């Protein structure tokens, strides 16, 4: 059974990140605190049969009425159970309730499952930031409520 907690802790996300093989960037508590400082933010933690299985972290990055979905992942052993799908929808519901008008997400070519998930959930690509390595290209999507 899937449950979602809207009161996740940074330490829980850091612990999960270490178990996501696709994530190479190093994240630290202070990076989170700096991004969240003085801003609305949300840490969703997904539990599958009571075990931590994934997360979705967002914050008011741009201060323009959009809510930025920053980090999202599901542990490999819990994938394909629609956990990310649910996390995405829960983030949207929360953001809408708080008065945000759209969600912005940045992903990369090297995260095709995320891209698939977002397109399936009616996100639209509006920008591509090119990098030397095409797999690293940043793909920016939005969903307007």
Ligand X SMILES: CC(C)(COP(=O)(O)OP(=O)(O)OC[C@H]1O[C@@H](n2cnc3c(N)ncnc32)[C@H](O)[C@@H]1OP(=O)(O)O)[C@@H](O)C(=O)NCCC(=O)NCCS
Q: Does 84 bind ligand X (CB under 6 A)?
A: yes
Beta strands at 138-144 and 124-129: parallel, antiparallel or unpaired: antiparallel
d(CA 100, CA 28): 27
- Smallest gap from residue 43 Cβ to ligand X (A): 15
Q: Does 107 bind ligand X (CB under 6 A)?
A: yes
d(CA 33, CA 27): 11
Q: Does 137 bind ligand X (CB under 6 A)?
A: no
Residue 68: other Cβ atoms inside 10 A: 20
Neighbour-count burial for 6-24, b at 16+ CB within 10 Å, e otherwise: eebebeebeebbeebeeee
Q: Does 18 bind ligand X (CB under 6 A)?
A: no
Q: Does 14 bind ligand X (CB under 6 A)?
A: no
Comparison of 99 and 117: residue with beta carbon closer to ligand X: 117
Q: Does 81 bind ligand X (CB under 6 A)?
A: yes
Binding-site size for ligand X (CB under 6 A) equals 19
d(CA 96, CA 46): 20
Footprint (CB under 6 A) of ligand X, residues 51-80: 72-74, 79-80
Q: Does 113 bind ligand X (CB under 6 A)?
A: yes
**Given the rule CB under 6 A, which residues bind ligand X?**
20, 22, 72-74, 79-85, 107, 111, 113-114, 116-117, 120
């Amino acid at each position: 059974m899937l449950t979602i907690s809207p009161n996740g802790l940074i330490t829980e996300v850091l612990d999960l990140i270490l178990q996501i093989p696709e994530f190479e960037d190093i994240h630290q508590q202070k990076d989170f605190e700096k991004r969240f400082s003085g801003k609305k933010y949300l840490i969703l933690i997904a539990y599958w049969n009571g075990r931590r299985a994934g997360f979705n972290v967002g914050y008011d990055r741009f201060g323009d009425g959009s809510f930025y979905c920053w980090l999202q992942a599901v542990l490999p052993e819990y994938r394909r159970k629609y956990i990310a799908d649910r996390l995405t929808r829960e983030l949207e519901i929360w953001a809408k309730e708080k008065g945000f008008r759209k969600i912005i997400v940045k992903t990369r070519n090297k995260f095709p499952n995320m891209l698939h998930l977002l397109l399936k959930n009616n996100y639209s690509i509006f920008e591509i930031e090119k990098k030397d390595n095409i797999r690293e290209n940043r793909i920016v999507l939005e969903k307007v409520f």
